[in-house]
Amino acid sequence: MLEVARIPVLNDNYVWLMHDGASGETVVVDPSVAEPVLAAAAERGWPISQIWNTHWHPDHTGGNAEIKAATGCMITGPGAEAAKIPTLDRLVGEGDYVAIGAHAAKVMAVPAHTAGHIAYHLADDEIIFVGDTLFAMGCGRLFEGTAAQMFSNMARFAALPDDTAVYCAHEYTQSNGRFALVAEPDNDAIRQRMSDVDAARAAGKATVPTSIGLERATNVFMRAGDAETLASLRAAKDAF
């Protein structure tokens, strides 16, 4: 059984700590900074053995070097972005596998937010780490890719089992949901979810992880029927 802990850092980032009690291994996913991650791991008695990066942006890799210096951990990340992540030890891409103890994660290439963005899918554990590709009720901006690529990503995610827990890297749900209410004003599932989200945020609570089933019902980008519709939605959200 894997344990996943959420570490809030910076303004709205989440770093994830995943621990396997059987092997004693701990993976850090997308460490923006080092100090709170090292502190959280030490507090739990979880020795950090690996870092998994989803893409090169500094708010996902900024803690790599310091955590590696403190722990000697191995850093895995997208081979397509190796030039932008000099701390990487292992380069991976579509179809490769990484593991924490006996738990295997398949690497999915999900370009669009960045050209080499990847996700880590632990199918047997119903867990996926999606970085900045999929958000609760949203998707990442198209900084280095196309709407067609993002549409393909959304379709791949939507095909996963409903109960798959989705660990994204930012607390964007409230703002995404406000846009979703405008984009799909007749969607009762979005209205109900936003009621829950607003209550959670008012109480200072996080709204992620989410689930594939919940996103399929309430994420307008996952629900887009084609790439052109997604492109239109993304442009509208960028200006929202």
Q: Which of 103, 117, 121, 170 is catalytic?
A: 170
What would the mean pLDDT of 99-112 be, rounded to a whole number? 98
pLDDT value at residue 1:
87
Q: Which of 19, 20, 30, 55 is catalytic?
A: 55
Residue 186 annotated in active site: no
Q: Which of 19, 59, 121, 125 is catalytic?
A: 59
Residue 113 annotated in active site: yes
Residue 60 annotated in active site: yes
Among the listed residues 109, 114, 104, 115, the one whose alpha carbon sits nearest the alpha carbon of residue 92? 109
Alpha-carbon span 127 to 135, nearest angstrom: 14
Q: Which of 60, 103, 117, 121 is catalytic?
A: 60
At 127-157, the pLDDT tens digits run: 999 999 999 999 999 999 999 999 999 999 9
User: Is residue 9's pLDDT more than 90?
Assistant: yes
Percent with pLDDT over 90 in the chain: 99
Burial class of 126 by CB neighbour count within 10 A (0 to 12, 13 to 18, 19+): middle
Residue 117 annotated in active site: no
Do residues 76 and 52 lie in contact, with contact meaning Cβ atoms separated by under 8 Å?
A: yes
Q: Which of 113, 117, 121, 125 is catalytic?
A: 113
